[in-house]
Amino acid sequence: MFKPDLTRAEVTPEWMWNRRKVLGAMAASGTGLFATPALSWQEVAEGLEPNTFEQITSYNNFYEFGTGKDEPLENAQDMVTSPWTLVVDGLVDNPGEYELSDLIGDIPTEERIYRFRCVEAWSMVIPWNGFELNKLLAKVGVQDGARYVKFETAVIPEVMEAVQYPILDWPYTEGLRMDEAMHPLTMMATGLYGKALPNQNGAPMRLVVPWKYGFKSIKTIRRISLVEEEPLNTWQDLAPQEYGFFANVNPEVDHPRWSQASERLIGGGLFARRQDTLMFNGYADQVASLYEGMDLTVNY
């Protein structure tokens, strides 16, 4: 329908606005992020058309607010995320209960377009704002014995109605091996599309590990612990034969109840586009070396 008073922002699809910003940032920095010849995230992102803000913020998994995809948008809005206490403990030089902004406020954020592949065989392309997790870890000082990073989501029964039911073993827990946590692709996201992270997407801060299934991307992080032993993650705890610690996107290792060889891109409408799932979700050039010598059918 003709609208005579459209603003420029209204007629510019969000992904085009975004692409311009990314290309601008690339030109300004001159070089890629990586010293190796591996493709940078920008090169991987080239040609990817991000999902709309509306799609990314209305089709969510955040079981603390209900198991329906539309429930987090509906139920998460009353969560207060500022001020926010982040507990950092375990094998770190500077453990403590931080006010989040005191800890991360001076870390510059950047925008990255990443593929996002859910274990349920759907995917999106998401323009995140945030910073590399290794920058936060450098601030708290990782000690020698630390081999894994364990993350926990806040449990706030006043607003998270579902935590009174034993749907999952709360708090939602995730973990990364130290080299995965330090990898430059691994991000702490604090926003998307240049806006503050909506509650349903994990405000005030969530993990994003683009080569792993989406459940590794733990939301609304309350606690980060540096530990010696591999932590059990929530889904692995619930069904170890279906979900492993690594959860690397792998089209060759099917979930026991469905194929992982292809995925449905959210937003495809009636004729939903199905596309082949890529090894490590398309990030193999950057991350395959982390798993050299490992049998990925055993370490799924």
The residues that touch ligand MTE, with contacts defined as CB under 6 A, are: 60-64, 118, 153, 172, 201, 214-215, 217-220
Q: Which is nearer to ligand MTE, 54 or 228 (CB)?
A: 54
| Full 3-state SS string of 140-154 | HCECCCCCEEEEEEC
CB of 247 to ligand MTE, least distance (A): 10
Q: Which is nearer to ligand MTE, 234 or 286 (CB)?
A: 234
Q: Which is nearer to ligand MTE, 40 or 260 (CB)?
A: 260
Residue nearest to ligand MTE (CB): 214
CB of 2 to ligand MTE, least distance (A): 34
Concatenated DSSP letters of 118-171 = -TTSEEEEEEEEEEEHHHHHHHH-B-TT--EEEEEE---TTT-GGGGSTTS-SS
CB of 119 to ligand MTE, least distance (A): 6
Q: What angle do CA 51, 196, 121 make, to 5 degrees?
A: 35
Q: Which is nearer to ligand MTE, 142 or 189 (CB)?
A: 189
Which region, left, alpha or beta, applies to residue 269 given φ > 0 means left and ψ of -120 to 50 means alpha? left
Q: Which is nearer to ligand MTE, 104 or 154 (CB)?
A: 154
Q: Which is nearer to ligand MTE, 162 or 278 (CB)?
A: 162
Of the candidates 237, 236, 198, the residue with the CA atom closest to the CA atom of residue 220: 198
Distance CA 281, CA 39 (A): 13
Cis peptide bond prior to 83, omega within 30° of 0? yes
Rg (CA), the chain: 19
Distance CA 76, CA 71 (A): 8
